[in-house]
Copies of this chain bind each other. A is one copy, B any other.
Amino acid sequence: MKCAITAFQQEQKKRTRSVQDAMYALNGKWKISIISSICCFGKRRFSDILNDVEGISNRMLSKELKELEINQLVKRTILDTQPITVQYELTEHGNTLQTIISNLAEWGVVHRNKITGKKVESIETSCNEKIDV
């Protein structure tokens, strides 16, 4: 009995660690936005992402892109232009994130509506922040 519980706990622990590995790869204030930006355009340059992701600083963009690259979610290519430009794109592995992100987005909508007391409409719902350019 106690043994069974312990085994289950171990399984839960592994599960937890796996989820945290996943969360760790996505953590940071901007990762999702960055991935969205790149995935939206297929290929994207540093300064383009800087514009896409509202509010991010070049320091943070650089840092989080590097982390994404280390985690093999994003591929970095230096183009031999003058001055040089750098192109980012999702790796194959990065693309597998899209399902996860879709799930999270879907659940996020439900969740937000749950919390704000609104009923589910679509992903188009709620806030109406200003969006320029």
Inter-chain contacts of A118 with B (CB < 8 A): none
Inter-chain contacts of A25 with B (CB < 8 A): 111, 131
B32 touches A112 (CB 8 A): no
- Measured between alpha carbons, how far is A93 from B108 in the docked complex, in Å? 12
Interface: A114 (CB within 8 A) = yes
Interface: A33 (CB within 8 A) = yes
Size of the A side of the interface (Cβ < 8 Å), in residues, is 58
Q: Which of B12, B36, B72 contacts A114 (CB 8 A)?
A: B72
- Measured between alpha carbons, how far is A10 from B132 in the docked complex, in Å? 9
B19 touches A105 (CB 8 A): yes
Inter-chain contacts of A20 with B (CB < 8 A): 32, 108, 130
A interface, CB within 8 angstroms of B:
6, 8-27, 32-33, 36-37, 40, 52, 54, 67, 70-72, 93, 96-97, 99-101, 103-112, 114-115, 123-124, 127-128, 130-133
A sample of 22 cross-chain residue pairs with beta-carbon separation below 8 angstroms, ordered by A number, consists of A9-B131, A11-B123, A12-B40, A13-B33, A13-B54, A13-B131, A14-B123, A14-B124, A15-B101, A16-B32, A18-B109, A20-B32, A21-B109, A21-B112, A22-B108, A23-B23, A23-B27, A23-B104, A27-B27, A70-B132, A96-B107, A100-B103
